[in-house]
Structure 1
């Protein structure tokens, strides 16, 4: 595990160097109100710290993976931790995969929406369509995160300094944006649009199966890697803790974050916002789904291990055995 951490600096250094070279300058999007250019560039500190953390986490995970045989043959505590790590990872992968599968089913049963998407993608010609589809493939994990969070009871939204707007929740479904009347474009960007929502249609509640099934699969995977009934239940519940940590990290990394700094007449200011699930509440929901679902998923394996080990003989039966039988 310690040797695995050594890859982190070598992984982070190129990311930092590339962040110093990438920069885009765009004209002001509001002519007549503001002048000058907008500069878009990566944050050097984030370009260093996040790859460093990712490299350290991936290196440590690789070190633990190489030590799995030792952990499995070692004492129960190490075996339980290894099983919980495997179960938590199974929960995350299953949740993202099931969310994507649910979207594919939705596309199949909603041909009008699918046709509208394909028309929009192909409107610019085959070359632009290929580029758009490739970019969509790259963000499929992010898309699945945006599905799993509401399925667990959370919300996707836009969150910034002093404001928050929930866009998609388990019980609320967006249907449009109210710009505040015909005069709103004249007052932009001071006008604040509002989101029109309606109760979530009943068929969409089937997405509740995504966290339920993924948590059960993770608990089952954890229970298969231990030797006793009590270890199976503990590993299934601990897998939920691992799942919550992994999902919280995925939300933090998978959300779109934008920082803004401006200088107007010598007065500077700035702020930022993020688009995606709210990290803290979503992590707590993942913890609840993971621990309960993981324990329930590990229950059949726990019972199977208890049955295979059999009941312990009573003291009277042990006393009746001969020395050679003991």
Structure 2
């Protein structure tokens, strides 16, 4: 996995409230394992090697439900769980105006789970797609943990850890007008048992969905795929540490609050590592003095090193 991706994920782990370096790196390693598992599923085009259990409370009929999920754990197993519980193998997936490469990946996930999927874009086509799905008795599914679609600005903000997460009301407004009841599925993963448990939640509002997202992410942050880009649609408070890192023979430092990356020379890189070591040894004053020297001689506002 690309080093810059690791830096992005690590920064967002810290922003979510994991300032301890050892814990943050442990979370990063776990996150990478889950992403590699998903990659293997895509490469094999099958979920036969995935151990999973569906919630006994899963609905046995599609009815007038809009099934929802997060990019959490092996989230595509929610598709398999819906199909198993209802006996329906056809899923209409609402994708808004997301990048085509994302839609291709969504379709590949569905095929791996043994599901026939119909991707439904936004606009008037969505209304037609939902009507067709209901006429067929098919399942309707959407992922809701990012601002849905790309057009227009987010118009909702929900409490999220030490800040807020942005969202759009359009999807839930559409569901209400179309007479669809949101039903949330979450693919929780138990590392000890190496098993995905698809949890079922009847939800009444968008706020309830995001409250559940925070609960799951707080419990097992490494399961949330969107750790890679949460900084794009959230505002979180907290310290602004800097992370020095190396790619091949080049040296960089990333501001972990805004993910701006600056290229630095070896000397500056090593001085930041020295400041981190001093801080870890309890020599806070010496570390602060060295960082003040760095700040005075550069344009970098480095106040702490992760």
TM range (shorter): under 0.3
User: Taking structure 1 as the reference length, what is the TM-score of the superposition?
Assistant: 0.23
1 or 2, which has the higher helix percentage? 1
User: Taking structure 2 as the reference length, what is the TM-score of the superposition?
Assistant: 0.24
1 or 2, which has the higher strand percentage? 2
